[in-house]
Amino acid sequence: MTWTEDVARFLLDTAQCPRCDTRLWHGAPAVQNGVCARCHVDLRDERGAGVWSASQAAVAALRERQALIDALPTADAPGASTHEAVGAAASPDVGTSDPSESYPREPYPAASDAWVPTPDRPRSAVSLQSVLAVVGAGLLGVAAIVFTFLNPDLTDFATRTTIIAVVTAVFLGGAWWLRRRGLAFSSEAIGALAMVFLALDIWAFSDAAPDDVSAWFFGALGLAVSGGALLAVGVRTGMRVWIWSGLVGIAIVPAFLGYAIGEQSTAGGSAWPAAWGHIGVVALAWGLLELLPRFVRKLGHSLSADAATLGVIQAVGAITAIPLAVSAAPSGFRGSESVWGAVVLLTLAALGFLTTRRIVPAVWSAVSGLLTSAGLVVLVTAVPIATDDPWLVLLASVAVTMPIVAVGVIRRTGSVHRVPLAVAVLAAAGVVAVPIGVLLTGRSLLLLFSRWQGFAEAIEPSAAGWALAAVAGLLIIAGGVAVLGRGTGRTSARAVITVLARWLAVFAVLGLPLAVAAPLTISIGLALALAAVSFIALAVFTPLRTANLGARLPIHAIGYGALVSAVAFSWPDEATASVTGAVAVAVLALAARTAPPRVRSTHTAVGFGYALVAGAAALSLTVLEPLGILALVTSAAAVVVLAVSIGSWLPVASWYAALGVAAVPFIASVATVLSERSWWTALSVGVVLVLAATLVGTRRSGSVVELRAGAAAILVPTAAIVVVCLTAQLPGSGSPYALPVIAVLVACALPGSALLRAVLARRPDGERAAAAVQLAIEVSSLVTGAVAVVLALVRIAAGLEIAFVVLLVLGIGAAASGLWLRRTYGWWTAAAAWTGALWCAWAMIGIAVVEPYVLPPAIAAIVVGVVFLARGAGERRAPAALVTTGLGAAIAPSLGLLAGGATSGDVMVGYWRVGALLAAGVVFVVVGALLTRAPGVSATRFESIRLPILAAAVVAGAAGTVQAIRVGIGLDAGPVDAAHPLIAALGFSLVSSAIAFAVARIVRTGGASSRWLTAPGLALLVGGTIWAVDANPLAIWTLWGLELALLVAMIATVWRARETRPAFPPVWFQWALAWVTAVAAWSPREVLRVEGFSLPLGLALTLVGAIVLVRGTLADEKPGLNSWPLASTGSWRLLGPGIVATLLPSVMATFTSPDTWRAILVVAMALVAVLIGARKTLAAPFILGIAALPIEILVVFLVQLGDEISPLLWWITLATAGLVLLVIAVGWERRTGADASLAARIRDLR
């Protein structure tokens, strides 16, 4: 059937709605009496007649087009049409019909009669039944295998073989008979199943081989005969699966022969014959590919799948031939073995080049290029030199360079794609070049490591030889890549390849200083000279100076790389490092002249930084301690930066670079304060303090606001560090002296920042810089004060008394900022500081209970917020935020202690806390109810805190659930000793849930309509109950009942959605709670199996989807997860989740706990889903049911069928299910005929 007639059937189908494309609705035609049963479109007037006329016109135009196509001649048979060629190749018994006889061309006589349905042609059902035929045949096949191989009563080989042969004949004959009857799809499916049993027949034939003959010979004979017969019969009858099977069988015959020869070989092992057998598979597959065009012309349709399969066979043969050849030479490819290995690789490469004529030429071009390079590399290993000779690296480089040069020189490559081939040979060269580079880098790093450990003072001759061979090899490869680049036609590709060649040469040149056997000082000198020459050439040589960046960059890389190498090898000898550092800085200054202006500041930073490092190395030769050296380096850096900050001769970018470098030793000096506080640190930090003060007031160009603010930000912290270092020199600990002084410093800096702002505001840059400086001082002062508080609390020498003083002084300074500078944070900071001081006072007198610390400030915050709201003036958000904060501070600590507290000896303390929280929750509910007004009624002054109070009620009420969890997991005993813990847990959870539901009701009364209002109540009920489960049947049945109650509520939510707006949370949330409950109830693995919990879950989820599928969606709901299933359409969205939830647990349970009844149950449920999907044209049950069958069968085989699952009952179940499906499918297809394609077989599913 052609595509044209497929479209004609679609357009002229009077049972299908032209608007919603629905053909069957609840088992009946969608269009009845001119009206669609699904979308209710009316087709009985003249507009419906117009649609029918347009459909007829479209069909007539398509048929005229098809007639013209059928009349086109073919090149192989001039004068004959394609239609005639295809008709001659087709089987004469395959039923065909004239489209003009199948579909009426005349319009209906009147508009009222235009859409009267014709007798139903269930096209989609026919298509689905074709798939059912495949599934039924597969089940029967599996049943036969189980009966044959896993039946404990059938152990005779002859009987088993006879059964296999009979089944094979039955399936072969059935496939041929169905093909003769015109049922093409079913015949292909059953014919494919027959191929499985034919493979078993070949195995049985090979098993019957004599003892002195390899079974592989008989297997090869069986494959050759059966493959040839299948190919011949398949080409004659048009059976695609037999053609495919014949091609595959013939193609792998050489592999069997290779195994047979290797098995019977007495010398040389079996690897080489097997390898050549796989090469024969590649060659024979290529030959079959050459024959495919003849089959295509005879059959009249493409054999792309067959060609792809042969290509895969070729790839597998080539991939497996290589390791077989490697295993044939266990001692490695040396001598003659290298020659044979190279022959294998080059032969595969030649076959790959030939294959480019027929299939994936780009892929085979690349693979063949790789194989060619690999073969040449293996071939050079036959040269009689030692494996540890460094010049073997040079030979390998020459081998991989030859294909590169060949590709660059040869311009015409025929069917071979030049670009993939070039990429492949370059990749092969990379495989050699990368190890060479790794070798060169590794030896350099090893030498550097030995140098740093003091073991190496010179480069040994052997190491220099390896380095020289690596450098020469990389230069050879770079030359070959350059030749390829010159022979490339594309400008972009030529540029890329040229760049690659240049960088390979760069890497090679950088290894030259290591290729000289001399002391390391000579190598360091050579590296410095190489760097200097590179930068001088860039600065002096005109062609390089005027060249583009791509040409200059490799020279830059050589210079910088040599410079870094010289610096690295100069350590750890301080004298050498000092001298090398001075020269390196000079060379870097020369490099800065050749660099672009935008990166010269980077050179300044690196040069200045390494100058400091070299200076430190020189100072280390003196008697100074490391701390003194660091302090002097820090001071020197600060003095230099101070000098360039006062003047303006250094560019701005370089000035900033120097500032960044000077910050490094300063940070290091600050870090030393953590371990040692000395005069040296005070000196260096003091100099930096002077520098920071200078930067705050500098007028130098480039001193932006951010720089001044940053300098201001370190004023107070550096002054505090100086204080710490100076007080550390006093006898005893300096903390009792330093911390109060720092607190006073911070307290003075907070209000004193306004003075500095007033001075800076008179500058030309104005108020913006002054404001930024003041803000930086305030922030840094607050941070310094916080650090002082932490130190006062954690240091033993300070104690609570010093912490009290520090907090008191900081509070005074913060209050001064709030009072005179109008800083809002000042009052908050002062309140926090004074509260901390009060806590310190309480701690000093021995108060250890948490609530007295928390409740007073929390209640104060609530009272202040309520008072502001009661006054009714000003902004209401700030008082509401204050009340909310107070509520959270009052509830969260007690709830957190209840949740995280360990088992307490006094259980009543915990119950007292639970009772208090639950009572608070009830009080909050009452207060919230009093503050709530219905929509349309004027709200109270306290409306802004109504929702926070109700939220606090839910949080406080959650204490019941928390206590239920504690009782459930055994941290606390229940109120009644004799009762089961579940009773107490359920009681506590019900109280929490009741409070949450009451809050939801109050919020809904206030006008809210969210479905999530009742979610906390459900979550609190489930979350507290599930932890008290154990093996007691009372607990399991109680949770099972809770699961059912949740599922019933979920079903009721969906059922009542059309009458009232849903009040409960979305379905997924309710189902998730039910799932959690089910898992908890199932966890003891007592009383009920997993199906007792999973089936209600899955069936309930399927039921809610089915309700919407039958009753329709809600128009006011937007599709999404929260609106599922009320706004979803199609069986996949509505029924798919439920079906998966029903089948998946049993399938997984079959793997962990295999039982015969469970396997039969899964097959039965899947079969029911398939039949329902086929009957109602629903995609989800049909496809998921079909998918579940093979998965369950695989699981049964994995759990060792016969040990836990009865083979007798299992094969009877499979055979019955397969027989039912096959009888239904074949019977229905015989009555209605076959469809056109696999897509047509499932396109009507919804």
What average pLDDT does range 850-878 have in this prediction? 80
Q: What's the pLDDT tens digit per position in 1171-1229?
A: 888 778 788 898 898 888 888 888 887 776 556 677 777 778 887 888 787 777 766 65
| Tokens coding 623 | 């008697």
Alpha-carbon distance 993 to 989, whole Å? 6
Q: Rounded to the nearest 10 degrees, what angle do helices 271-299 and 82-89 cross at?
A: 120
> How high is the pLDDT of residue 349?
92
> How high is the pLDDT of residue 1240?
38
More confident position, 671 or 193: 671
| Tokens coding 907 | 């259980």
Q: Of the candidates 178, 184, 225, 235, which has an alpha carbon nearest to the alpha carbon of residue 202?
A: 225
> How high is the pLDDT of residue 269?
52
Of 606-615, 657-666, 790-799, 1035-1044, which gets the smallest average pLDDT? 790-799
> How high is the pLDDT of residue 153?
63
> How high is the pLDDT of residue 978?
56
Q: What's the pLDDT tens digit per position in 346-400?
A: 999 999 999 998 888 999 999 999 999 998 988 888 776 766 677 788 888 999 9
Alpha-carbon distance 462 to 390, whole Å? 9
pLDDT band at 869 (very low <50, low <70, confident <90, very high): confident
| Tokens coding 732 | 């005893």
Parse the chain into domains and list their residue ranges.
3-121, 209-328, 332-518, 520-595
Quick one: 794 exposed, middle or buried, by C-beta within 10 A (0-12, 13-18, 19+)?
exposed
Q: Of the candidates 1024, 1023, 1040, which has an alpha carbon nearest to the alpha carbon of residue 1090?
A: 1040
3-state helix, strand and coil shares in percent for the chain, rounded to the nearest 5? 75, 0, 25
| pLDDT cut 90: percent of the chain above it | 25
How many residues does this entry show for the chain? 1246
Of 384-398, 552-566, 820-834, 1168-1182, which gets the smallest average pLDDT? 384-398
Phi and psi at residue 28, in whole multiples of 5°? -120, 160
Alpha-carbon distance 947 to 1005, whole Å? 12
End-to-end CA distance of the chain: 24
SS (H, E, C) 1140-1182: HHHHHHHHHHHHHCCCHHHHHHHHHHHHHHHHHHHHHCCHHHH
Distance of alpha carbon 221 from the chain centroid: 49
Residue 42, beta-bridge partner list: 35
> How high is the pLDDT of residue 1135?
92
What single string gives the DSSP state of each residue in 548-602?
A: -HHHHHHHHHHHHHHHHHHHHHH-S-HHHHHHHHHHHHHHHHHHHHHS-GGGHHH
Q: Of the candidates 487, 478, 501, which has an alpha carbon nearest to the alpha carbon of residue 397?
A: 478
> How high is the pLDDT of residue 80?
38
Whether the pTM exceeds 0.75: the reply is no
Q: Do residues 685 and 631 make contact, with C-beta atoms less than 8 angstroms apart?
A: no
Give the Cα-Cα-Cα angle 853, 854, 859 (nearest 5 degrees): 120
Q: What's the pLDDT tens digit per position in 120-158?
A: 334 443 456 667 777 887 787 787 777 666 766 666 677
Q: How many CB atoms lie within 10 A of CB 874?
A: 10
Exposure string of 429-454, with b = 16+ CB inside 10 Å and e = fewer, is bbebbeebbebbeebbeebbeebeee
> How high is the pLDDT of residue 104?
37
Alpha-carbon distance 896 to 914, whole Å? 11
Q: Of the candidates 169, 174, 166, which has an alpha carbon nearest to the alpha carbon of residue 148?
A: 166
Alpha-carbon distance 945 to 477, whole Å? 77
What average pLDDT does range 1013-1028 have in this prediction? 92
H helix or E strand, kind and range, residue 32: strand 31-32
H helix or E strand, kind and range, residue 36: strand 35-36
Distances (CA, A) of 959 to 673, 887, 953, 1039: 47, 15, 10, 21
| Tokens coding 168 | 């094979």
Q: Do residues 681 and 631 make contact, with C-beta atoms less than 8 angstroms apart?
A: yes
More confident position, 3 or 258: 258
Contacts of 604 (CB under 8 A, 6+ apart): 592, 653, 654, 657, 658
Strands 35-36 and 24-25 turn out to be unpaired
Residue 515 pLDDT greater than 70, yes or no: yes
Give the Cα-Cα-Cα angle 352, 354, 359 (nearest 5 degrees): 75
pLDDT band at 270 (very low <50, low <70, confident <90, very high): low
Q: What's the pLDDT tens digit per position in 193-222?
A: 788 788 888 888 888 788 778 888 998 999
Q: Of the candidates 437, 457, 438, which has an alpha carbon nearest to the alpha carbon of residue 447?
A: 457
Alpha-carbon distance 989 to 1026, whole Å? 10
What average pLDDT does range 262-281 have in this prediction? 78
pLDDT band at 477 (very low <50, low <70, confident <90, very high): very high
| pLDDT cut 70: percent of the chain above it | 88
Alpha-carbon distance 370 to 366, whole Å? 6
Residue type, 1012: W
Of 533-542, 674-683, 1068-1077, which gets the smallest average pLDDT? 674-683
Residue type, 246: G
Alpha-carbon distance 924 to 903, whole Å? 29
| Tokens coding 727 | 């007080």
Residue type, 117: P
Q: What is the DSSP letter of 28?
A: E
More confident position, 748 or 623: 748
Q: Do residues 985 and 1028 make contact, with C-beta atoms less than 8 angstroms apart?
A: yes
What average pLDDT does range 914-926 have in this prediction? 93
> How high is the pLDDT of residue 286?
93
Q: Do residues 466 and 511 make contact, with C-beta atoms less than 8 angstroms apart?
A: no
Q: How many CB atoms lie within 10 A of CB 276?
A: 25
More confident position, 647 or 398: 398
Alpha-carbon distance 1026 to 967, whole Å? 11
> How high is the pLDDT of residue 994?
95
Q: What's the pLDDT tens digit per position in 72-110?
A: 876 643 433 333 333 333 333 333 333 333 333 334 333
Q: Of the candidates 372, 371, 370, 378, which has an alpha carbon nearest to the alpha carbon of residue 332?
A: 378
Exposure string of 642-652, with b = 16+ CB inside 10 Å and e = fewer, is bebbeeeebee
Distance of alpha carbon 288 from the chain centroid: 42
What average pLDDT does range 525-529 have in this prediction? 90
SS (H, E, C) 472-528: HHHHHHHHHHHHHHHCCCCHHHHHHHHHHHHHHHHHHHHCHHHHCCCEHHHHHHHHH
Average pLDDT, the chain: 82
Q: Of the candidates 686, 685, 698, 708, which has an alpha carbon nearest to the alpha carbon of residue 777?
A: 708
H helix or E strand, kind and range, residue 130: helix 123-149
Q: Do residues 369 and 403 make contact, with C-beta atoms less than 8 angstroms apart?
A: yes
Alpha-carbon distance 157 to 146, whole Å? 15
> How high is the pLDDT of residue 1226?
65
Residue 458, beta-bridge partner list: 519
What average pLDDT does range 167-172 have in this prediction? 84
Q: What's the pLDDT tens digit per position in 288-305?
A: 998 888 888 887 777 888
Strands 24-25 and 28-29 turn out to be antiparallel
Give 881's Cβ-side CA count (13 Å radius): 4
Q: Do residues 698 and 645 make contact, with C-beta atoms less than 8 angstroms apart?
A: yes
| Tokens coding 845 | 């007198």
